[in-house]
A and B are shown apart, each in its own frame.
Chain A
Amino acid sequence: MPSLIKEINSKILNKETTIENIVNEYLNTLKSKDSSINSMLEIYSDEYIKEQIKIAEKMLEENKTTLLTGVPVVVKDNLCVKNQLTTAASKMLANYKATYDATVIQKLKDAGAIIVGRSNMDEFAMGGSTENSAFMQTKNPLDISRVPGGSSGGSAAAVAMGGVPVSLGSDTGGSIRQPASFTGIIGLKPTYGAVSRYGLIAMGSSLDCVGPFANNIEDIKIIFDIIKGEDARDATTIKNQELELINKNLSQNKNRKIIGIPKKFIDQDGVDSNIRDNFYKTIEQLKKFGWEIKEIELKNIEKALSVYYILMFAEVSSNLARFDGVRYGESIKGATPEKSMILSRSEGLGEEPTRRSLLGTYVLSSGYYDSYYGKAIAARDYLKDEFKKIFQEVDLVATPTSPVFPWKFGEKNDPLAMYLADIFTVPANIVGIPGISLPTGKVNVEELKNLSFGTQFLAEWHNEEKLFTVAEDLGL
Chain B
Amino acid sequence: MITKDDIKYLEGLIKINLTEEKREQYTKEIDEILEYIKEISSVDLGTSKDQEYQHNNIFKSDAVLQDDNHRDLALDNAPEKLGKLYKVSQVLKQ
**Could you list which residues of chain A lie within 8 angstroms of chain B, going by C-beta atoms?**
82-83, 95-97, 99-100, 232-233, 235-236, 299-300, 303, 306-307, 309-310, 317, 320-321, 324-329, 331, 333, 336-338, 340-343, 345-346, 349, 354-355, 357-359, 361-363, 365, 371-372, 375-376, 378-379, 381-382, 384-385, 388, 414-416, 419
A235 to B65, CA, bound (A): 14
Contact A385 B89 (CB under 8 A): no
Count of interface residues, chain B, beta-carbon cutoff 8 Å: 50
Contact A232 B33 (CB under 8 A): no
CB-CB under 8 A from B36, the residues of chain A are: 306, 416, 419
Chain A nearest CB, measured from B42 CB (Å): 8
A133 to B44, CA, bound (A): 38
Contact A381 B74 (CB under 8 A): no
Contact with A379, one of B13, B43, B86 (Cβ below 8 angstroms): B43
- Known contacts A326-B88, A355-B30, A415-B33; A303 and B40 CB within 8 A of each other: yes
CB-CB under 8 A from A326, the residues of chain B are: 79, 86, 88
**Could you list which residues of chain B lie within 8 angstroms of chain A, going by C-beta atoms?**
2, 6-7, 10-11, 13-18, 26, 29-30, 32-34, 36-45, 47, 49-50, 53, 58-60, 65-67, 70, 73-74, 76-80, 86, 88-91
Q: Is the interface of A mostly helix, strand, loop or mixed?
A: helix
CB-CB under 8 A from B18, the residues of chain A are: 346, 354
CB-CB under 8 A from A343, the residues of chain B are: 17
Contact with B40, one of A375, A385, A415 (Cβ below 8 angstroms): A375
Identify the 4 closest CB pairs spanning chains A and B, nearest first. A331-B79, A328-B77, A99-B73, A235-B58
Contact A303 B29 (CB under 8 A): no
Contact A358 B79 (CB under 8 A): no
19 interchain pairs (CB within 8 A)? Answer: A100-B67, A236-B58, A303-B43, A325-B79, A327-B77, A349-B16, A354-B14, A355-B30, A357-B14, A358-B10, A362-B6, A371-B41, A375-B41, A381-B53, A382-B43, A382-B44, A384-B53, A416-B29, A416-B32
Contact A372 B40 (CB under 8 A): yes
Contact B37 A372 (CB under 8 A): yes
CB-CB under 8 A from A324, the residues of chain B are: 15
Contact B26 A337 (CB under 8 A): no
16 A-B pairs besides A303-B43, A327-B77, A365-B10 with CB distance below 8 A are: A82-B73, A83-B73, A306-B36, A328-B74, A331-B79, A341-B15, A342-B17, A358-B11, A358-B30, A361-B14, A365-B13, A371-B41, A414-B29, A414-B32, A416-B32, A416-B33
A384 to B79, CA, bound (A): 44
Contact A419 B33 (CB under 8 A): yes
CB-CB under 8 A from B39, the residues of chain A are: 303, 306
Contact B40 A376 (CB under 8 A): yes
CB-CB nearest in chain A for B69: A99
Contact A300 B26 (CB under 8 A): no
CB-CB under 8 A from A414, the residues of chain B are: 29, 32
Contact A306 B40 (CB under 8 A): yes
Chain A nearest CB, measured from B21 CB (Å): 12
Contact A100 B70 (CB under 8 A): yes
CB-CB under 8 A from A232, the residues of chain B are: 60, 65
Contact B37 A309 (CB under 8 A): yes
- Known contacts A99-B77, A357-B14, A382-B45; A388 and B50 CB within 8 A of each other: yes
CB-CB nearest in chain B for A334: B89
A30 to B9, CA, bound (A): 47
CB-CB under 8 A from B44, the residues of chain A are: 299-300, 382
A362 to B11, CA, bound (A): 10
Contact A355 B40 (CB under 8 A): no
A371 to B91, CA, bound (A): 37
CB-CB nearest in chain A for B91: A337
CB-CB nearest in chain B for A377: B55
A385 to B86, CA, bound (A): 48
A314 to B65, CA, bound (A): 29
Contact B14 A381 (CB under 8 A): no
CB-CB nearest in chain A for B78: A327
Chain A nearest CB, measured from B75 CB (Å): 9
- Known contacts A235-B60, A371-B41, A381-B49; A309 and B33 CB within 8 A of each other: yes
A338 to B90, CA, bound (A): 11
CB-CB under 8 A from A327, the residues of chain B are: 74, 77-78, 86
CB-CB under 8 A from B29, the residues of chain A are: 355, 414-416
Contact B40 A379 (CB under 8 A): yes
A31 to B8, CA, bound (A): 45
Chain A nearest CB, measured from B45 CB (Å): 6
CB-CB nearest in chain B for A332: B79
Chain A nearest CB, measured from B88 CB (Å): 6
Contact B50 A381 (CB under 8 A): yes
A324 to B26, CA, bound (A): 22
A381 to B46, CA, bound (A): 12
